[in-house]
Each structure stands twice: as C-alpha cells, then as structure tokens.
Amino acid sequence: MMNRPGVRSAIGPDMSRLTIVNLPPTTTKRWVIRRKAEIVAAVRGGVLSLEEACSRYMLTADEFVSWQASIEQYGLAGLRTTRLQHYRIQSDQARRSN
C-alpha cells in the first residue's frame, strides 16, 4: 500500500477517526451501511485511494461509485438496499412523467 505523507486518518460517518487500522476487515462479505460509508469516507479523506479500496475489498469501481453517489444524493439511508430500490422506482416514475 502506498504511503501518503501527512494523510493518515479521515472522519467517518459517525464522526470517529478512521485509519487504515480500524477500517472494515479485508474479508468483509456483508456490506452494511456503516461499512460502506466508512470506505467512502476513507477514500474521500485520502486514507485509501479508489484503486486501493477496490483491490483491498474486491469491489468494482462502479460499485464504489454507486455507494458514493447514493451518499451524495440520499445520505446514508441511500446505502440501504431496500431504500435504493425505492429511490430507483421514484426516479423511474419521475422520468416517465416528464
């Protein structure tokens, strides 16, 4: 993993300090809202690069970008799978009505 001078931590979604040491385990299989948000915060804060995050957690760039977009558009609730389905339905309905 590449070292970034001066960048060792970021603020997580619960306002705790995120470091490489307290990020979710690399063996994570169940991606709950908190873990997704921590990875997005770590990349935004420079703890990991996008490439490092994808490699470390076996994610595709599209998957990570979808997490990031969900947070930006809907907040943490957007990371909930059932809410994401709800938001997609609303978005589809809005497009059809225009």
Report the pLDDT value the prediction gives residue 92, as an integer from 0 to 100: 62
Does some domain include residue 5? no
Report the pLDDT value the prediction gives residue 77, as an integer from 0 to 100: 87
Does some domain include residue 89? yes
Is 0.95 topped by the overall pTM? no
Please list, in sequence order, all residues whose beta carbon lies within 8 angstroms of the beta carbon of residue 68, skipping any fewer than 6 positions away. 40, 43, 44
Cα–Cα nearest to 59, from 75, 79, 39: 39
Does some domain include residue 83? yes
Does some domain include residue 25? no
Mind listing the pLDDT tens digit of every residue in the chain (98 residues)? 444 555 578 999 999 999 999 999 999 989 999 999 999 999 999 999 999 999 999 999 999 999 999 999 889 988 886 555 555 556 666 777 76
Phi, psi of 19 (to 5 degrees): -130, 170
Q: Which domain holds residue 76?
A: 31-97
CATH number for the domain spanning 67: value is 1.10.10.10
Does some domain include residue 39? yes
DSSP helix/strand/coil, 94: helix
Q: How many domains does the chain have?
A: 1
